[in-house]
């Protein structure tokens, strides 16, 4: 199809054409790739991978909690697996090249209700 875009920034279009040439792409192919990239990331771009992993955890919590005592691993915004052993977790995390992961043990990891103690915080001994 033929697409006409009005009022686009000349500078941006110039850079876009130059980049397409550098990558050996026609302008239409470069445009399609840019659209694909934008569509695939736009829903995730506003949250960090940490937030995204936490969101997945919250969505799957009910299912996850059935695996009492096991290790449930979430990374890259998806459930990576349920494991019995830390060695298997390490292998799985390396395979997906995780930068951040949630490793949760249902029934073992307990939410702490209330506020804990840290008596000495901010106390500094200074000479009189």
Give yes or no for residue 47 binding other proteins (CB under 8 A).
Answer: no
* Interaction of residue 80 with other proteins, rule CB under 8 A: no
| Residue span binding other proteins (CB under 8 A) among the ranges 1-9, 13-21, 28-36, 51-59 | 51-59
At which residue do the structure tokens 């399609």 appear? Answer: 32
Choices 2-10, 21-29, 37-45, 49-57 (CB under 8 A): range interacting with other proteins: 49-57
Residue 49 sits at φ, ψ, to 5 deg, of -65, -30
The least CB distance from residue 93 to other proteins, in Å, is 5
Phi, psi of 34 (to 5 degrees): -65, -40
CA 96 to chain centroid: 12
The site string for other proteins over 58-77 (x = CB under 8 A, - otherwise) reads: x----------------x--
Residues binding other proteins: what is the number (CB under 8 A)? 35
By C-alpha distance, which of 9, 59, 80 is closest to 72?
A: 80
Minimum CB separation of residue 45 from other proteins in Å reads: 20
**Residue 52, strand partner residues:** none
**Which one, 25 or 100, has the nearer CB to other proteins?**
100
Q: Among residues 32, 33, 36, 50, which is the contact residue for other proteins, using CB under 8 A?
A: 50
Sequence-ordered alpha helix ranges (H) in 42-85: 49-64
- Contacts for 55 with CB less than 8 Å, ≥ 6 apart: 47
């Amino acid at each position: 199809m033929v697409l006409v875009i009005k009022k686009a920034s000349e500078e941006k279009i110039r850079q876009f054409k130059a980049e397409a040439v550098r990558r050996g792409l026609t302008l239409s192919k470069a445009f399609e790739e840019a659209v694909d990239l934008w569509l695939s990331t736009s829903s995730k771009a506003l949250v960090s991978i940490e937030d995204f992993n936490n969101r997945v955890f919250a969505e799957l919590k009910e299912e996850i909690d059935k695996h009492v005592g096991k290790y449930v691993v979430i990374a890259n915004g998806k459930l990576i697996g349920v494991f019995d052993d830390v060695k298997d977790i390490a292998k799985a995390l390396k395979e997906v090249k995780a930068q951040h992961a949630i490793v949760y043990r249902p029934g073992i990891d307990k939410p702490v209700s209330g506020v804990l103690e840290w008596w000495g915080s901010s106390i500094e001994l200074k000479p009189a």
